[in-house]
Structure 1
């Protein structure tokens, strides 16, 4: 009949429409959330990269200052050693000749010996003066043939430097001083700043000395710094660059220009000059090619002026990296949508088949009853019998009773179908119901499936049975505050099933009322574990599976705030693989990646507590955040250091061990000592530098 066919079409159409609309609403919600996540990821990526390149430029500025100090101290040690050596030579000459030669002959012999003592590729020279002002060996000339009084000789700063030298020799036996003096063999008579060391020669009340011109030290420091800057790479395409404020390029396109050349891009150079008018440095945006490429990409750089040398130091990052990352995330999202579509399509086919068979049975039942009704009236019509009113009333009552029985049978059949649908919901929708105290009174089979517990194990328990240990108490306190106020709570919850496997759900929890009396709660949940997995990928380093630098920049701020709020220690470890560049040079970068993975596996194994986090900060540099106090964190650091060396990874270029080792810098502070993340990072990095100064394979804690 047409009626039965119409019913079948209506049922299928309603089922298809409901399923399609549900799917489209779900996809729309997911797509909107994905778009928001893309904007957030892009914003955070650019923000973290800007902080990174700014930090690199500032670290180079600090490195330049440290390099000149270290070099100056090294020069001072060198001239002190040489003056001591010269003094020993003079004493030897004196001891060998004091009984056979005159004072004048011995002084002449000492002066000639020291004047002829020179060092390869070195401009230093010795001088000898009496502590009363007589020049003996002065400006590389022996002046013993006549008395040369230089007692009142002044340098370019109007200092009586001969008297200062004599005072140091007489009072302290030896010591350093700074003065200005002409360069030997120079015709300009210009005086240059000089660091000198003098030592008392007691037999004749003389002082012997040597000096180094500070502009030579500065030039040497600049050359070493430029070579270092040219060698630094943050990855294949990112590097540091240096220009002079007079228009020359010193380090360009990842290479040092020696000699310096005029900057090849006037517009870019002008942009840099304008930016460094800000003494704190500034970010600039432009297009520039990558190394060994002619194609230009969008790039952002941070530039800052180093006043002392008149340098513009900068570091940049190409923005196409974010597009690559977003493309990977979008591919994951598309795959997730495709998987959902296939699942929905299979569900639709099965539902259409079930509904079709059910509808055919229902329509057949309707046809039989309608035909029976028609045949009954037809039979009565054909027999043309007069129906007694009383009998007619009786027959109609019987007919009504029969129809009521049919209606009852239909109702029972419908209830059976309803139970099937309820079972479908029970098997696929994660639902739980609790009393007003939070004790579970009913759960769906889907809840049992995702949690791993049976219904009997869950009834009478609270949802703490699936609570993840890393979830803070404050999270559930806020949830209960809202629910007990009669409001609906919505949000993401991190759970752990009976087998210890983590999963994420999106929950909607609604208070239940009966006759205006509060009786409990009902919660409907959606499994969002795959979505959270996608989010996890965006904060994980691909090679080592540790957290990446982007997540570190977020997490360090969170953990600092948590340390202050919960009044516990904040400890930060910066870890560097010793001589890792030499390892790559010896064994190759592919084997170097294997070392990074093995070292990272140790960090991951040792940071399983909820309050411990391990990161790959870049290259061979790693970081660990923990709440351990100073004593415990030192034990923790020694454990990690020893475990790395016990991996027994061969490292022929390691100067402290025949295996791969690490150096660790640690900052451990209580809440009142914590300032900000940038200072903490710098202090930890300084500690790492001190650990390396100790000879590497070492630990230094602040």
Structure 2
């Protein structure tokens, strides 16, 4: 009822103020009645046309500079708005037959401006653009003069009406006073109805609160609960209105809640806290937010919302557990869009021997990836198109040890689908690579074995036949090697095999050369062709190098040192019509090798076809 009394008192005050504010009321009425609908609207339309003309010029300049589709679309939209407003302006003047000195529809400059805009939009005409820019001040002045003319006519036509409007204002004010007195009682009825609506809205708000799963509560300053929604009762099976926290929760929880209440009351600041409670024998975690609420009497109350976040916490725990497992056991790294490492798993760090801080901020070149330039180029071309790249990398640990990984590299996106960089998942295939190497490598000499030789030589011959290229096979054999073993022993014989293997590998070291041990003391090299006229000289050099090792061999007369006999066969499929098989070429090289042995050893025999 205090509100109704205040309303009554306010009404009487307003009634007295009407007399005092009589002149102010007349002035306000003059301002309202002074406005003319037609001229006011005309001025607004003309003012808008003036502004739109500048906006069109701006968008024309913007498009002319950027030449992109977005700028063109903006220009079309603004131009359409300008044309529509111009049409509305002309129609408005024609329909209401307004008395104006200047006729905007007949203005030559504005007509030319509209024509140039249309021309530029349709053809991007450079001349139209220059005309628009050069005449922009004229257009603005024309429209500005038109607006000023409208305002001048507006004031002139209605200046003589001030006395009449003043009288109307006076009479209207008296009518308002009479109207106010006549509806005073009715206003009280409306006020009572409004109060009932407020109470109804309060009930509706309570119903909304009761439908929520979150717990909503209100306390007074001493901590007594004034209101809770149904969610609290459903959770705890207890009505706490009129009770305090000490009557509901344990001492430890009560102390935490009381501390938050003091902050809200004394400092009038919101608080946030997570609390563990046991409900039906199960641990539940609640996020409680409290904030001050001031009532109509100025008293501070505590309003709060409690959310059951148990499931979210369980999910976060499982997520953290999974992340820990991935970090410890999965080889994974993240980079930005330039390939700089932003995060890397512990498993990866253990594999490569670096600490995490040593890798973050570096690129993968720190692991020796830069040594595989062609592979890196293929990788970047793939992932920059947002595709997934699969492949193998040879890397180097911190201590220099080589290790191999099989990798999948893919784009990495944020929650908003923004590309952050790239993610690599990998597995250690070092053991697999070692097994593969053992399967194609001779264990004594570390050269390729006979199995590898057969596979590669067959491919080389097939490519030579198909592409009309050259195939070159070099073969050599240690002279009188059985005699060496009989004289010096097999251990020394193995040493000789290693030394000659080392010499062969160092001599035939170009890309595409494959040095193989194909028998006990027999070696073969699949060579990359440099030119047939150079091959004999190049092959003879290795014979001299082996002899220069000066490894004693008294059973190899007349040299008395370890020597080799060799052969080389070159087949140019571009110049011969005959097709030679793998066996054909191998037999020719073998025959030439035995020819060297029969003719004094420590020499090279060669065959070039054609």
Instruction: Name the one with the larger helix percent.
Output: 2
Same-fold call, TM cutoff 0.5 = no
Larger radius of gyration: 2
Compute the TM-score of the two structures, normalised by the length of structure 2: 0.43
Question: Which of structures 1 and 2 has the larger relative contact order (alpha carbons within 8 angstroms, sep 6+)?
Answer: 1
TM-score relative to the length of structure 1: 0.38
